[in-house]
Structure 1
C-alpha cells in the first residue's frame, strides 16, 4: 500500500478537486466560515477560522479535532475516513486523483460525449486512441 498522504496534502487535493461553479478555487474564508457554521449547528464549541484552515492546508497545524475533520469532510462531501490512513481512505484518494487527472488533461468533455456513442462506436474510439498513443510514443522515441 502506498504511503498515506499528509493531512495538508489531503486538504490541498480537496481544494484542487472542488471549485466554484465558475471553475475558480474556493476561498479559505468561505470554507472556514461554512465549517464554523456546521460545527455550531451541531453544538460543537469549537471555532474554525480562516487562519486555522490556512495552517492545516499548509501543514503548519497538524492535529485538528475530530470535529474539524468532520466539518471539512462535510463541506467537501467526502467520507471523513479520507483523513485517516485506511484502505477506504486510499480509494477515496485514488478517486480524487482520477478527478484531478480528468480536470488537468481536459478529457472530461471527451468522456461525456463518448457516453452518447453505441458500445461498438466506443470500442472504435478506444482503438483509435490506442493507435494515437502508440504513434505518439514512437514519435517521441525517434526524437
Structure 2
C-alpha cells in the first residue's frame, strides 16, 4: 500500500491565513457569521458559521468542493489555493504584498513611486533591496547563493 503524499499545508492553515490577511475596510477580521451569510446570500451555497469555524480550526478537514469554491470566491483566491501547493505558495506571496500595502507608509511609497520615471523606480528598488539586505543578512545571503552568486 502506497501512502498518499503529505500536504505541506492544510485546509485549516490556508483558511486561517485568509481570515488573518483578507480583511474588510475596518481592518477587523471577518466573523464566521459574516462569511457564512455572504456566501449564502451572494453565492447561494448553504453553509453555516459553525462549519466555517470547524474548517478553520481543523475539526473538520474534508469539505466539499462546493464549500471550498465558495470560500475561495469569498476571499478572492482560486480554489487551487486550498488544494495545490504551488498555487498556495503563489497566492501566499500575493497575500503578503496585500498585508504590506495595508501599511500606510508602504502604500504611500508605492503610490509615489508609480509617478517616477523607470530609471528612478529602478534606483528606488535597488536602494530598498540594499536596505532589506542590511536588515536581513542571513536571508539575503541565502537568496544570493540560491541565485548562483558569490558571497
What corresponds to 2:142 in structure 1?
Answer: none
Query: Cα 1:56–1:116, aligned 2, differ >3 Å: closer, same or farther?
Result: same
TM-score (norm 1): 0.73
What corresponds to 1:141 in structure 2?
Answer: none
Shift of 1:98: 3.4
1:84-143 CA distances to partner (integer Å, 9 max, x unpaired)?
A: 0243343223322333344469523322221111112223323433454466579xxxxx
TM-score (norm 2): 0.70
What corresponds to 2:34 in structure 1?
Answer: 30
Q: Distance in 2 between matches of 1:131 and 1:89?
A: 28
Q: Distance in 1 between matches of 2:51 and 2:136?
A: 46
What corresponds to 1:51 in structure 2?
Answer: 50
Q: Distance in 1 between matches of 2:69 and 2:135?
A: 45
Q: Distance in 2 between matches of 1:133 and 1:121?
A: 18
What are the ranges of 5 or more consecutive residues in structure 1 without an aligned counterpart?
139-143
1:1-143 correspondence runs (5 A): 4-38=8-42, 41=44, 47-103=46-102, 107-133=106-132
The structure 1 segments of at least 4 consecutive aligned residues displaced by more than 6 Å after TM superposition are none
1:27-82 CA distances to partner (integer Å, 9 max, x unpaired)?
A: 1110011123355x3xx6xx311111111111111111111111101111221111
Between the two proteins, the alignment pairs up a number of residues equal to 131
